[in-house]
Each structure stands twice: as C-alpha cells, then as structure tokens.
Chains A and B, each alone.
Chain A
Amino acid sequence: MSSATSSTRPDPHSHLHLAVALDGTGWHPASWREPVARPDELFTAGYWADQVAEAERGLLDFVTIEDGLGPQSAHPLEPDDRTDQVRGRLDAVLVASRVAPLTRHIGLVPTVVATHTEPFHISKAIATLDYVSTGRAGLRVRITARPDEADHFGRRRVDRIEAYDSPDAQGLLTDLFDEAADYVEVVRRLWDSWEDDAEIRDRATGRFVDRDKLHYIDFEGRFFSVKGPSITPRPPQGQPLVSALAHDTVPYRLLARGADIGYVTPRDAAHARAIVAEIRAEQQSAGRAGETLHVFGDLLVLLDDSRGEAEARRARLDALAGEPYTGDAPIFTGTAAQLADLLEELAGAGLTGFRLRPAVAGHDLPRISRDLVPELQRRGRFRTAYEADTLRGLLGLARPANRYAAAAATAV
C-alpha cells in the first residue's frame, strides 16, 4: 500500500459506487473497428470473462450486461439493415452465470426484458445466478416497445410508436412500465416464497421441508397471474438487486415502486438534483421512503491522458461510424482526473454512484479500472479493497427480512 492510500481515512459514506455497463465491444458503434477490440470473440466465454475480470481488478461494485430480444439497431424502434455495426448477442443471464465461478467479489447484473418473458423463469434464473455467484446477483429490468420484437414472440401486438408525446404512445409506455412493475413484484415475491429455514431435513418425521415455510404468492394483476411458490429456494442475498434505467417520470415511478438502483442520465448537476428530487417524491408516494434506493448517473466515457486526445479519439470513431454518436446518456471525454471531478460534482447533487459505459471496451474499461479508480482512491472516494462478499453488502444494503416470514410472525 502506498503512503497516500494508508493516510486516507476510509469513510464508506463518502465512497462512490461504480459500475460498468458491458455491451459488445463498447458503446460507440465504431468501437469494434479499434485495434484493441476483439469483435470476432464476442460470442466466446473468454471474451466476457476477461471483461468482468478487468472490472473486478478495479474493485467495481458490479457490471451490467446489455440484452435484447432482437438484433441491435441504430433505430430505437425498428430493426435496421446495417452491416457496419455489431449485430447479435448472447443471453445476458447466461453470460453472467458463465463468468460467476471465475470471479469472487464483483456483482453481476444482466438485463432482462419484462415485456415478453415469464417472471417465474426469470425469478429462478436470477436466484440461481445468486447461488452460483454466492450472493452477487442482480437484474436490470427493461421493457421493449419494438413491434419487431413482439413479432418474434407472436403473443401480443405492439403498435409502432409514431410520436412519443402522442396519447397512444404514452398509454402504451405507461402500460409496459406498469407491467414491468408487476413483473418485478412477482419476481421479488417468488424470491421470498421460501423462508430461509424452510429446508429442515427432519429425519424423525421424514420431512425434507417445512411446508408451512413455503408460500403461494397468489399474484393477480392486470397483465398476468402467478401462483408460486418458486421451485428455487430463497437465494443467498434474500433479495438480489433490482435495477432499471430511467429517463422520464413513468420509468422513475418503476424505480420508486420496485428497484434498489436507478440509472439516470442527467445533463448536469442541476438536472441531477431535479431528477433525484422527483424520484424521492415518487418513492414517498410509493410508500418506500425508508428504503435505500440508489440513484446512479449513467455516462458514456472516453478516457485518455489528455482531453484533446480523448476528443480526437471520439472524432475518429464518429468519422468511422459515418455520423456523430449521440446516445441517451451524456458523453464524457477527458482524463481520469477530470472524470473524477465530474463524478464528485454530480455526487454532490445527490447521486450515490455511477454506471459508466465504456465507448471502447478494450480501451476505456482498463482506463476506468486502472486510472479512474486509483484517482478516486487518492481522493478517499472509492474502496481500496472489497469490503463485502455480496452485492447487497457492497451497496450498503442489509439482507432483507422475508415478507412472508414477517407476515407469519405478525399473525401469531
């Protein structure tokens, strides 16, 4: 340990949380063309193992893994016919599970699409990810309003959104997010449907489980009903982490109702403050004011030794792509120290952590783990060793009581 590190008094409350969002060769559409990229290895386990190992080397809280039920597209609502960008991806839950036994501390948060999948399947899949990672699982839930993805399932019709502010579009999106909120509720109830001590192995009576500690969840909502209990016992964390990306009031409400972490995309500190205030108000109305809900800022990052270098790299990537890249999240170009300044400023506005999207995975992810993290450590704003064995532990979340055990105790 250097003297600089040992002289830093650790104060967990001033520590920032850091996650990295993994998506293919990186978030810039031309990232795959960089010499450091490995586009022909995207469909191998080794590629993903290396990405997550690099993030773990930087002591990051967790990685998220993007996913979708159709090919990537430059257009948000329909497929394209482009051949100059990465297309195709592996199932994110399975990627997370494949790397879990190869890592020790880092959280694994795959994307799941609520719109066309079964909450029963996803609940046991994430519970199982929690078992195989011994307590490091989470999920990032999203919806899809793409008509072509609905056609991949053929079970519901999703009309094409022509204008986001039209009443039809708002109605559709509100429904899809309400459905996602129900989905999260079912997933969570199923995680609790086994009490922790349900498995008794009582040789005297021959009973493997105490069935009074297994619970039907009896969920009935507008979109579906699910009976329960889960086929998978309560996972090590009790409740794995639930997170979602949100850009507007309707998804903020989803965060408020069911998430542990929200990813938001503020333009600046003032905007961040406004978003946090809106989410806290929604949290209050949802009756969850007392619960920890982290609000993380999402930033796409290009990190180099000087701002000029990073800007030049961005210009070069944009030129390769044939158009400037603009995503939903702000784009940062600069040095690790400049990024640390920005993160500290945004943290001052109420964000408790950040999910960084490396523009080029092979370049910007090591810059995060090897430059940004040491910079934040020097400032006393980031951990110098993993302090917990579970993802909830890293995020300062206690292992929650089981809602059904609590109910049973109250009933007595």
Chain B
Amino acid sequence: MSKPLKQIHLAAHFPGVNNTTVWSDPAAGSHIEFSSFAHFARTAERAKFDFLFLAEGLRLREQGGQIYDLDVVGRPDTFTVLAALAAVTDRLGLTGTINSTFNEPYEVARQFASLDHLSGGRSAWNVVTSWDAFTGENFRRGGFLPQDERYSRAKEFLATAHELFDSWSGDEILADRATGTFLRDARAGAFVHQGRHFDIHGRFNVPRSPQGRPVIFQAGDSEEGREFAAAGADAIFSRYSHLEEGRAFYADVKGRLAKYGRRPDQLLILPAATFVLGDTDAEAAELAREVRRQQVSGATALKHLEFVWNRDLSGYDPEGPLPDIDPLVSEEHISRGRAQVRMYRDPVAIAREWRELAEANKWSIRDLVINNGNRQTFVGAPATVARTINEFVQADASDGFILVPHITPGGLDPFADKVVPLLQEQGVFRADYEGTTLREHLGLAHPDAAAPAERAAS
C-alpha cells in the first residue's frame, strides 16, 4: 500500500544582506528599486509559489567597529514593500519578518490586518525576537531584553496581537443606509490585555481581515523556539535542509503538536534552500563551485574567520594557512547585528577543528570558508533537482522549501521555468492556484473554522 504523495509547498526568499547573495555578478540588479521586487514576485507567482518571504534586520551590521561593507547593504521597509507587491500580484502570499522586540502589538496588528485586507488575504508574519542593545539604539523604546525574556515577550506579543485580531469577529459592519447603522456593535474591537510585558486596553480599529489572522511563521531553533512553534505557529522557517537532520527536526517538532491539541498538518516545516541549476549535473556542479568562489572573496573569508576568532585578522593572507593564535573568548563580539555568530558556542574547539581540516586538505583560509558549510542545497540538472526535492518532502524531511536564489532579481527564473514544470508533471506541485488566500495555498484552516476543533481538543 502506498500512501498518497504529499503536495510540495514552495516559497521564494528575496535575496538577503549576506554573502549568499552575489552582487558582483553582471546579472545582479538593484536590491532596493521596486522593479526588482516586482520582478521577483511576478516570477514566484508565475511559478504558482505559495509565498514570497522577506527577512529583516533593524541595524546595519558592523564588524570591528565599522559598518560591514562586503555584502549587500540596505533594504526596504517590510510592510511597505509587501503592500506594494500586493498590487502587482494576485495570489502570491506575502510573508514579512517582523520583530517583536522593537514594535508594539497595537501597531503591528494594525499593519498585518491592513496588509491582509489590502492583499485579499495573503499576509503572513514571521515572528522573530531580538536581544541586543546594539539594535535597540535605533529605537525610542531602547533595546535590550535579557536572553531569557525574549521568548516570553515574543509569546505575549503574539498572544496580544491575536487578541487584537480577534477583537472583531467579522460581522460587525452592517453599513445599512436605511436605518443609519454602520456598526452592529458599539463595542467592536474592544480588548483588554494585562500581562507581564503588555498592559493595554481599548479598541482595535481595523475590522477582521480576510484570513482572520495572518499566517504565523516562526524561525527560531532553540528548545523554546520549537515549543513556541508547536503551540501556535502555522509554519516554521527552518535551517535543516539536509535529509537526515531534516527528518529528525521534522519528527521532533511534529511530535510536539499533539500535546497542544494540534494535528501534524497544522504546522508546516519549510527549510531555507539554495540551488544551482545546469544543463547537466556536471555542469551544475562546476557552476556551483564558481558561485561559491563568488560568494567568498578573500576579504569575505577573513571576515568569516573573524566570526569565530573574534579578533581582527586583517593582517592574514586569505590564501595562506589559518591563524595559529586562539580565538578571543569574550562577551564583546567583533561582529554585531549578526545572529549567526551566536552559533559558535565553543570557538576554541571550532578553531582547532578547522585548523585540522585545513591542514588535512591543504586548504587556505579562503578554501576552508568556501568548503565549510557553504554548499548549495540543490545542485544539478532540473530533473535531478526536482527529484531530490520531491524525495526530501516525501521522506518527511520537510513540507517544502523556501528557496533563496543568489542573484537579484532574476535568480528564481530558471527554477520557475525548468524545475517547477517537472514537479507539476509529477503531480506533486499545483498546476494552478486553487484558492485565493495564503491559508488556502498552505492547506491551513481559517482561524474561525479551526477554533471550535481546538476548543474541543483542549
């Protein structure tokens, strides 16, 4: 007995402000002009993707006390560009990363509810938290939450936003000219929230939007992050794009749903994935090597080594051996505004491991950075990539992917033109949109429909 094939979900991540994005390629266009965003969104919609995804960072990154200048720098305001993209697309979901530390629930709820209205039900919110006083320097509320308060605030922020979304049930606007009744209920939008982080009350002023609430994404990977997602998120933007680790993560998170009265299909797992296509697998592999060299210049290699060494390594030759001095272990980090550096929990051990790896392979600093953790997720001819993606999803390593092209804005086009038709032929990806809202694309119930079941289960 074979189980029915899972349908794959695909999304497009606008190339971001890190070295995955190759700005030096002659094909690379503007990262800020609206025409680039419109091109990218239209390609994703032509390919029937579920949604477009935008990341966010609220302070320009610094390294060694200076603004980091080797990657793309600068991006638009998330809400504003998504609202404009709603005008040039019809079905594509619009997912924005919005920070719960440097915003207030009333304002963010208004913005998402407005975006949902203005896009006809296509909005999604990737809820992220921040921890640093560095970013906080840009905000009147200031920065800085102790590490252990981040999720506590994020949870309460999201719960409060949900209370605001739910403060209108959807049938309040009567607009009956004859009786002069605009609102059926004078108290529409009334809310009271008293908690540790937010103590607010009053009336929310955006009526219920087509999706009820935006689709909720979560991106954190910690134990707390996984529970946060299992308790209430609709999708996870994960980093596990390799088969075995993907299956482990998938099983772990889906396994946490039952205790919240939720079914496995109520939380989608969507890892980020990069890709390089060629006419043949061999050609693609060669292209992928070239792309990695473009992504890691000598200067970039030294800067990436500094993430671990936490020292100024500008005196080293990127074509030479790794430094024999040890990393500086300190609360102060040479790199600021970059979440990645927190992953290196034992830098001295990592440095030792990397030195051994470089010596064994006769790698320079640049070779090491190119070869270490920088490989594209899918490399091959279109048929190979389509097959690999499908196998991955059918093996329950994910429910689909959020693809991150390395060229702006045209990097998604070859995937749309060559890989998507193959997935459609295999019957694992939609040939056309069936619904109009992002919830419908993702197979998620409307919150009003889901609510009775959830109440019954709890």
Contact = CB atoms under 8 A, between A and B. Distances in A.
Interface in B184-207: 184-189, 198-207
B138 A87 contact: no
Given A90-B118, A320-B180, 18 more contacts: A69-B205, A70-B203, A79-B202, A83-B183, A84-B182, A87-B182, A88-B173, A101-B38, A101-B84, A102-B87, A117-B107, A120-B58, A125-B77, A129-B80, A148-B202, A201-B23, A207-B69, A226-B140
Given A207-B70, A208-B69, A40 B200 contact: no
Interface stretch (B8-16, B109-117, B276-284, B419-427): B109-117
B290 interface: no
Contact of B200 (A120, A154, A320): A154
Interface in A129-183: 129, 131-132, 134, 148-149, 151-155
Interface string A1-37: 0000000000000000000000000000010110100
A149 B203 CA distance: 9
Contacts, number: 232
Interface in B44-90: 57-60, 66-67, 69-77, 79-81, 83-84, 86-88
Interface stretch (A92-100, A335-343, A359-367, A401-409): A92-100
Contacts of A93: 79-80, 83
A203 B75 CA distance: 20
Contact of A206 (B111, B117, B207, B297): B297
B252 to A, nearest CB: 34
Interface stretch (A229-237, A265-273, A298-306): A229-237
B107 A132 contact: no
Contact of A118 (B23, B69, B81, B141): B141
A98 B118 contact: yes
Nearest to A233: B74
Contact of A132 (B80, B118, B120): B80
Contacts of B204: 152
A100 B182 contact: no
A107 to B, nearest CB: 15
B371 interface: no
Contacts of B331: none
A280 B18 CA distance: 49
A130 to B, nearest CB: 10
A71 B189 contact: yes
Contacts of B332: none
Contact of A134 (B34, B76, B188): B34
B300 interface: yes
A208 B70 contact: yes
A209 B61 CA distance: 12
Chain B interface size range? 35 or more
28 contacts: A30-B180, A43-B117, A45-B119, A49-B87, A68-B205, A70-B202, A72-B205, A84-B182, A86-B182, A88-B173, A88-B188, A89-B205, A97-B80, A99-B87, A101-B84, A118-B139, A124-B77, A125-B79, A131-B32, A148-B203, A151-B200, A199-B74, A207-B70, A208-B69, A208-B73, A214-B67, A226-B138, A231-B57
Given A70-B203, A206-B300, A229-B60, A90 B114 contact: yes
A393 interface: no
A227 interface: yes
Given A152-B202, A155-B104, A94 B74 contact: no
Interface of A: 30, 32-33, 35, 39-40, 43-45, 49, 68-72, 79, 81-91, 93-95, 97-102, 116-121, 124-125, 127-129, 131-132, 134, 148-149, 151-155, 194, 199, 201, 203, 205-211, 214, 223-229, 231-233, 320
Contacts of B102: 118, 121
Contacts of A151: 200-202
Contacts of A83: 181-186
A229 B68 CA distance: 13
Contacts of A98: 83-84, 86-87, 118
Nearest to A123: B77
B372 interface: no
Contacts of A35: 177
The 4 closest A-B CB pairs, nearest first, are: A224-B140, A227-B137, A132-B84, A128-B80
Contacts of A82: 186
A43 B34 contact: no
Contacts of A40: 173, 175
Contacts of A211: 66-67, 69
A205 B86 contact: no
Contacts of A88: 168, 173, 188-189, 205-207
Nearest to A182: B140
B433 interface: no
B299 interface: yes
Contacts of A101: 34, 38, 84, 87-88
Given A84-B180, A149-B202, A91 B111 contact: yes
A231 B16 CA distance: 13
B183 A87 contact: yes
Contact of A94 (B114, B137, B182): B114
Given A88-B205, A116-B107, A224-B140, A209 B80 contact: no
A194 B75 CA distance: 12
Interface in B142-187: 168, 173, 175, 177, 180-187
A232 B75 contact: yes
B292 to A, nearest CB: 15
B324 interface: no
A101 B117 CA distance: 17
B237 interface: no
Most buried by A among B69, B86, B140: B140
B33 interface: yes
Nearest to B207: A88
Contacts of A95: 83, 114, 118
Given A33-B180, A43-B207, A151-B202, A94 B80 contact: yes
B228 interface: no
B374 interface: no
A94 B66 contact: no
Nearest to A122: B77
Contacts of B88: 101
A320 B176 CA distance: 13
Nearest to A101: B87
A124 B59 CA distance: 12
Most buried by A among B67, B74, B168, B185: B74
Nearest to A91: B114
B106 interface: yes
A248 B113 CA distance: 35
B420 to A, nearest CB: 25
B70 A203 contact: no
Contact of B77 (A30, A127, A148, A214): A127
Contacts of A155: 104, 141
A208 B71 contact: yes
Contacts of B24: 201, 203, 206
